[in-house]
């Protein structure tokens, strides 16, 4: 069942979204060549806790960290490690959730470490823009398929592929709620959008094919052809005839 939020619930979600977005900003400021993904996860964890919230991911289905940190051909769900060192030229995906006063925020970014290959930079930019193409399709009376079609069309136009095995979702009192929000779709098909819906829209985009594999650790997802992958996500609400992005603190990030 889709949980449509009222004004008080949306206000609480704004706070959870703000903390989530700020935790990502803290991670961006801390990220540097030579640090471990464990150290980066600690930055996220400490920021969320200082803000009076709880890391949504920590312990979620026994996930052992506060952020999913995935590098290069890792798509999502990378487990932070004291042994994984971030190198110049890497593209680092940081996925963060914060639970505050009964509601979750959920957001992710892909960050280039130093100078990266031109195709990597383009991938990051296209993934980010595909999110905003999807958001532009959000309107009362439109459908989930309109969002996915807008994302996938833009990705394909730019020569990349959209991961189809993993998708976005509703978000609120639960980290994952209905409806499913695929990053592909048919215009005019799927769940109808209405005011009060809150979604985590999160395109995952590959340089190569769309296919992905599950890692031996039970969490980390990689591209099957080991091509680079990028991820961009925000918690978004449809409020009346307007779209609000709760986790977007820096409009350029």
Say which residues have a Cβ less than 8 Å from residue 18's Cβ, sequence separation at least 6.
Answer: 105, 246, 247, 249
Alpha-carbon gap, residue 108 to 76, rounded angstroms: 10
Pairing relationship of beta strands 177-181 and 198-201 according to DSSP bridges: unpaired
Residues 122, 73, 160, 187: is their CA dihedral positive or negative? negative
Q: What is the pLDDT of residue 176?
A: 98
Q: What is the pLDDT of residue 218?
A: 95
In the chain, % helix, strand, coil (3-state, to 5) comes to 30, 30, 40
Within a 10 A sphere around the Cβ of 174, how many other Cβ atoms?
A: 13
Domain 7-245 has CATH 3.40.50.1220: no
Q: Is 169 helix (H, G, I), strand (E, B) or coil?
A: strand
Where does the chain have alpha helices with state H? 7-30, 37-50, 118-136, 144-157
Q: Render each residue's pLDDT in the chain as its tens digit; 253 residues.
A: 999 999 999 999 999 999 999 999 999 999 999 999 999 999 999 999 999 999 999 999 999 999 999 999 999 999 999 999 999 999 999 999 999 999 999 999 999 999 999 999 999 999 999 999 999 999 999 999 999 999 999 999 999 999 999 999 999 999 999 999 999 999 999 999 999 999 999 999 999 999 999 999 999 999 999 999 999 999 999 999 899 999 999 999 9
- As a whole number, the mean pLDDT across the chain is 98
Q: What is the pLDDT of residue 101?
A: 96
Q: Where are the chain's structural domains?
A: 7-245
Alpha-carbon gap, residue 199 to 184, rounded angstroms: 15
CA 148 to chain centre: 15
Give helix 37-50 / helix 7-30 axis angle, nearest 10°. Answer: 140
Q: What is the pLDDT of residue 26?
A: 98
Q: What angle do CA 121, 124, 130 make, to 5 degrees?
A: 135
Q: Is 211 helix (H, G, I), strand (E, B) or coil?
A: coil
For 78-102, write each residue's pLDDT tens digit. 999 999 999 999 999 999 999 999 9
């Amino acid at each position: 069942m889709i949980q449509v939020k009222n004004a008080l619930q949306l206000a609480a979600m704004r706070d959870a979204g703000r903390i989530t977005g700020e935790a990502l900003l803290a991670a961006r400021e801390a990220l540097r060549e030579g640090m471990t993904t464990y150290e980066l996860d600690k930055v996220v964890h400490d920021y969320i806790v200082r803000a009076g919230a709880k890391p949504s991911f920590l312990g979620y289905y026994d996930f052992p960290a506060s952020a999913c940190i995935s590098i290069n051909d890792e798509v999502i769900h990378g487990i932070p490690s004291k042994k994984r060192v971030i190198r110049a030229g890497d593209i680092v995906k940081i996925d963060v959730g914060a639970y505050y006063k009964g509601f979750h925020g959920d957001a992710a970014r892909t960050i280039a470490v130093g100078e990266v290959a031109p195709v990597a930079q383009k991938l990051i930019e296209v993934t980010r823009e595909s999110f905003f193409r999807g958001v532009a399709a959000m309107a009362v009376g439109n459908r989930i398929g309109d969002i996915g079609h807008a994302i996938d069309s833009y990705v394909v136009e730019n020569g990349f592929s959209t991961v189809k095995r993993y998708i976005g979702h509703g978000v609120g009192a639960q980290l994952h709620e209905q409806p499913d929000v695929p990053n592909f779709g048919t215009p005019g098909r799927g769940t109808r959008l209405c005011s009060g819906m809150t979604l985590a829209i999160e395109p995952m985009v590959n340089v190569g094919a769309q296919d992905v594999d599950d890692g031996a650790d039970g969490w980390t997802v990689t591209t099957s052809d080991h091509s680079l992958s990028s991820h961009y996500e925000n918690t978004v609400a449809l409020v009346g005839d307007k779209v609000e992005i709760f986790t977007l603190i820096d409009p350029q990030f």
